[in-house]
Amino acid sequence: MLFDRFFPTLFLRPYASFRMPSLDLYDYELPRELIAQEPLQNRVDARLMVIDRASGEIEHHHVRDLPQLLRAEDVMVKNNSRVVPARLFGRRTKTGGRWQGLFLRSDRATGVWELLTKTRGTLQTGETITLDDRDARAGGELMVIGRDDQGHLLVQPVPNESFDGPPQAIEPGKWLDKYGRVPIPPYIRDGHMVDADVTNYQTVFASTNPEDAGSVAAPTAGLHFTKQLLDEIAKGQTASAEVTLHVGIGTFRPIEVDDIDQHQMHEEWGRIEEDAVETINDRRSGGGRCVAVGTTSVRVLESCVTNRDETNGRGIAATWTGATDIFIKPPYRFGVVDALMTNFHLPKSSLLVLVSAFAGHDLIRRAYKEAIANEYRFFSYGDAMLIV
């Protein structure tokens, strides 16, 4: 399949002996049956492993216990980016050859879209691709413009009865809502979308602002929340703040160099605004913790740190908008994040490296072994951990 190369084999040798910064440290063996294929019917019934970094203790809870695990003085930071139905299927209009692609981003000024694609033969500039809608009926067309320096396909949408005007005027989100499919990872049902994924693979706090729709993968820690749970957390006086980070396909790309210091992180667009900054800094100055929901929230928060203390690396949050390629790995010193809620991650992934940087390699290795022994559910639709 098109995106298989972004995912490592899940049946790997156990963690190697301690040799920083070798990639073998982030390699583990996972039984196939522990890869969650569907979310639980009630999101808050997911298990929540609570890891105390100071004591090294590990406790077993459920996501519904979060109101009791968070403190009144804390602030919980969530990524409000909306997942777009970025996966596209169709045929080359001229030859009838099958085609599939993944929407990556668009340039609003030119109306040019960037896609990751797979097809037989070589796509020619000026030819068109006829897309299938979700019922496999032929629909919209994309015109090939060329390729960028990374080899990604550049296209423009062809106006039709549903989408008129120049390409610059066509809103990608609306186009993808009609012709796209939810980009389910290949370890879930071999990447095949079902209707329920439209809701299940979206957080309840995803923004409805078109500018906040840009993720091609869900910020999965946020999938555990319901509106009722958020209300209960708010009743406990824990503050809430939102950031935006559009999750790219590179999030899942396995690290392919043995020395992780040589890994080049992908860029993702993010933003943190003044109201979030004020809430975070106010709560932390009063002794509260900044609790990041997901590694994507961490990437924004650690990209916006200013006034770092040279001794311990601690700082304060500042407004920020832009692209970040921050690669958080040991021995990184966190500037703003005090606690982290996150899912269980793939072997040899930058996400597992980030979590190890936050909690320590030995503690995370022990936590993952305990999760497997207790049959936790892994990856996007799986269970979570709270590291404090």
pLDDT band at 163 (very low <50, low <70, confident <90, very high): confident
Predicted local distance difference test score (pLDDT) of residue 11: 38
Token couple for 196: 């329920």
Give me the pLDDT at residue 5, please. Answer: 45
Higher pLDDT, 307 or 249: 307
Q: Provide Rg for the chain, Cα atoms.
A: 21
Q: What is the mean pLDDT of residues 356-380?
A: 98
| Tens of pLDDT, residues 12-47 | 333 333 444 689 999 999 999 999 999 999 999 999
For the segment 223-244, the average pLDDT, to the nearest whole number, is 98
The average confidence (pLDDT) of the chain is: 91
pLDDT surpassing 50 at residue 7: no
Rounded to whole angstroms, how far apart are CA atoms 176 and 87? Answer: 8
> Mind listing the domains of the chain with CATH numbers?
4-83+204-387 (3.40.1780.10), 87-179 (2.40.10.240)
Q: What is the H or E stretch that residue 129 is in? A: strand 128-132
303-350: pLDDT as tens digits: 999 999 988 899 999 999 999 999 999 999 999 999 999 999 999 999
C-alpha to C-alpha distance for 6 and 370, rounded to whole angstroms: 27
Tokens standing for residue 319: 């407004």
* Arithmetic mean of pLDDT, 161-186: 85
Q: What mean pLDDT is predicted for residues 164-170?
A: 80
Residue predicted with more confidence, 132 or 224: 224
Supply the DSSP string of 24-80, one letter for each residue.
GGG--B--GGGB-SS--SSGGGSEEEEE-TTT--EEEEEGGGHHHHS-TT-EEEEE-
Assess contact for 35 and 378: CB atoms under 8 A: yes
The mean-pLDDT minimum among 9-13, 139-143, 169-173, 313-317 falls in 9-13
Please tell me which residue, 82 or 13, carries the higher pLDDT value: 82
Which of 179, 172, 164, 178 lies closest to 210 in space, CA to CA? 172
Predicted local distance difference test score (pLDDT) of residue 13 = 36
- Confidence class of residue 53 from pLDDT cuts 50, 70 and 90? very high
Check residues 22 and 63 and name the one with the higher pLDDT: 63
CA 344, CA 223: separation in Å to the nearest integer?
Answer: 13
Rounded to whole angstroms, the Cα distance separating 93 from 101 reads: 15
Whether residue 290 has pLDDT greater than 70: yes
Q: What is the predicted pLDDT for the residue at 268? A: 92
Query: How large a percentage of the chain has pLDDT more than 90?
Result: 76
- For residue 227, give Cα distances in angstroms to 42, 200, 219, 290: 12, 14, 17, 21
Q: What is the mean pLDDT of residues 248-256?
A: 80
Per-residue model confidence (pLDDT) at position 136:
56
Per-residue pLDDT, 139: 77
H-helix segments, the chain: 66-69, 172-179, 197-200, 227-235, 274-285, 295-303, 350-359, 361-373
- For residue 363, give both structure tokens: 């503690």
Taking the CA atoms of 264, 269, 273 and 276 in sequence, report the sign of the dihedral they define.
Answer: negative
pLDDT, residue 6, reads: 46
Q: Which residues contact 364 (CB under 8 A, 6 or more apart)?
A: 352, 355, 356
Residue 10 has pLDDT above 60, yes or no: no
